[in-house]
């Protein structure tokens, strides 16, 4: 049986893979429902949503792994994880890879920032040495059990040392065994073009979605990124940003209702209950109940009509 990691590898060979960033079960299921072939978690999304804190290295390894496990087990599409700095030295990275692989993700990012790290689009980033990061990559490659598990080496060097140094670092990480490289916070299409042409490995690029969500990297059409040779495109903050805007608008209307008594019927702002239950797979629970619960219990829960239906289904 083909693993999800093998599926992700195959997708990368077919063309650019668009992987929206997810941060909880709702966002992950929505990405799959909307037909995307892969998804990615982000440290910023988890830190903001789970901890209610900025992305400044407060999320622990096991909090990250646990969040990924719950999402990965409920998706049929490949999910890649953001493993931050690997949570320590190369020995820690070795264990982190195995934890993430056991959680069901198909690969993970490791970045070359010092710990505690910060969001790639924040100022004040600091880097570890390229040699130390290369050792982390070596440890990651050694630790993985599935050869298809993807080690994505991220460099934040563009903002700190410039593009040429970022390319040097990426080449060193590829030599250490990285399957993919990820230059974060690129400033232009020209920088992406130069980077892709300079390295001999798949390149992952993170972009925003609209002017309000791209503090560093410009908004470049995915088709154009594919023409440039980019293998994977992530949109780490698109769904958290969209969810925040939706919540903001809904709460504005609720506040107006409380203050003025005006009733706002806005189905364009709300997912219906039937749509939520469909998205979250409630029908599967009903199927399991129909299959395994005794008739008398089903009748107590749902009435005799339900029992008649279940009996007919069981006979079929």
Per-position pLDDT tens, the chain of length 316: 789 999 999 999 999 999 999 999 999 999 999 999 999 999 889 999 999 998 888 899 999 999 999 999 999 999 999 999 999 999 999 999 999 999 999 999 999 998 877 776 667 688 999 999 999 999 999 999 999 999 999 999 998 999 999 999 999 999 999 999 999 989 999 999 999 999 999 999 999 776 565 567 888 999 999 999 999 999 988 999 999 999 999 999 999 999 999 999 999 999 999 999 999 998 888 888 888 989 888 888 888 766 565 555 555 5
142: left (phi over 0), alpha (psi -120 to 50) or beta: alpha
Helical packing angle, 130-143 and 163-175, nearest 10°: 30
Residue 249 in any domain: the answer is no
Residue 261 in any domain: the answer is no
Domain count, the chain: 2
Judge if 69 and 204 occupy the same domain. yes
One DSSP character per residue, 258-289 reads: HHH------GGG---HHHHHHHTTHHHHHHHH
Judge if 176 and 55 occupy the same domain. yes
Residue 244 in any domain: the answer is no
Rounded distance between C-alpha atoms, residue 17 and residue 19, angstroms: 6
pLDDT value of residue 22 = 97
The pTM of this model reads: 0.91
Q: In what order do the strands lie in the sheet with 150-155?
A: 180-183, 150-155, 107-111, 79-82, 39-41, 17-22, 232-235, 204-206
- Token code pair at residue 282: 């409630």
Judge if 113 and 13 occupy the same domain. yes
Judge if 104 and 225 occupy the same domain. yes
Of 210, 236, 262, the position where a domain reaches its end is 236
Residue 204 in any domain: the answer is yes
* Sequence-separated (6 or more) residues with CB below 8 Å from residue 199: 167, 170, 171, 174, 181
Of 268, 276, 198, 205, the closest CA to residue 235 belongs to 205
Sign (positive/negative) of CA torsion 143, 200, 228, 157? positive
Provide the residue range defining the domain that includes 54: 4-236
pLDDT value of residue 213 = 55
Domain CATH for 174 = 3.20.20.60
Of 236, 271, 304, the position where a domain reaches its end is 236
CB distance 23 to 6 below 8 Å: no
Sign (positive/negative) of CA torsion 236, 243, 17, 9? positive
218: left (phi over 0), alpha (psi -120 to 50) or beta: beta
Judge if 24 and 86 occupy the same domain. yes
Judge if 154 and 28 occupy the same domain. yes
Residue 271 in any domain: the answer is no
Judge if 208 and 290 occupy the same domain. no
pLDDT value of residue 1 = 78
197: left (phi over 0), alpha (psi -120 to 50) or beta: alpha
Judge if 290 and 165 occupy the same domain. no
Token pair 């409630």 is found at 282
Residue 255 in any domain: the answer is no
Judge if 208 and 316 occupy the same domain. no
Judge if 221 and 72 occupy the same domain. yes
Residue 251 in any domain: the answer is no
Residue 144 in any domain: the answer is yes
């Amino acid at each position: 049986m083909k693993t999800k990691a093998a599926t992700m590898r195959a997708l990368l060979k077919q063309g650019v893979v668009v992987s929206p960033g997810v941060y909880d079960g709702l966002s992950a299921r929505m990405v799959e429902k909307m037909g995307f072939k892969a998804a990615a978690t982000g440290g910023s999304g988890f830190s903001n949503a789970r901890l209610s804190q900025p992305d400044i290295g407060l999320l622990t390894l096991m909090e990250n792994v646990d969040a990924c496990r719950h999402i990965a087990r409920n998706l049929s599409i490949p999910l890649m994880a953001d493993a931050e700095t690997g949570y320590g030295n190369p020995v820690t990275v070795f264990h982190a890879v195995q934890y993430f692989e056991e959680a069901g993700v198909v690969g993970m990012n490791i970045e070359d920032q010092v710990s505690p790290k910060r969001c790639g689009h924040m100022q004040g980033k600091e880097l570890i040495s390229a040699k130390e990061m290369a050792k982390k990559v070596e440890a990651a490659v050694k630790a993985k059990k599935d050869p298809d598990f993807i080690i994505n080496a991220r460099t934040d060097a563009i903002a700190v040392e410039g593009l040429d140094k970022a390319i040097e670092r990426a080449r060193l990480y590829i030599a250490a065994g990285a399957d993919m490289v990820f230059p974060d916070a690129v400033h232009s299409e020209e920088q992406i073009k130069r980077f892709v042409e300079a390295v001999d490995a798949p390149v992952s690029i993170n972009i925003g979605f609209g002017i309000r969500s791209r503090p560093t990297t410009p908004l470049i059409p995915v088709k154009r990124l594919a023409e440039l040779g980019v293998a994977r495109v992530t949109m780490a903050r698109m769904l958290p940003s969209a969810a925040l805007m939706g919540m903001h608008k809904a709460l504005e209307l609720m506040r107006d209702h409380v203050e003025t008594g005006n009733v706002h019927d806005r189905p364009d702002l709300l997912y219906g209950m039937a749509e939520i239950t469909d998205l979250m797979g409630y029908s599967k629970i009903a199927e399991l109940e129909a299959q395994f619960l005794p008739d008398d219990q089903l009748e107590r829960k749902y009435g005799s009509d339900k029992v008649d239906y279940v009996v007919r289904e069981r006979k079929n």
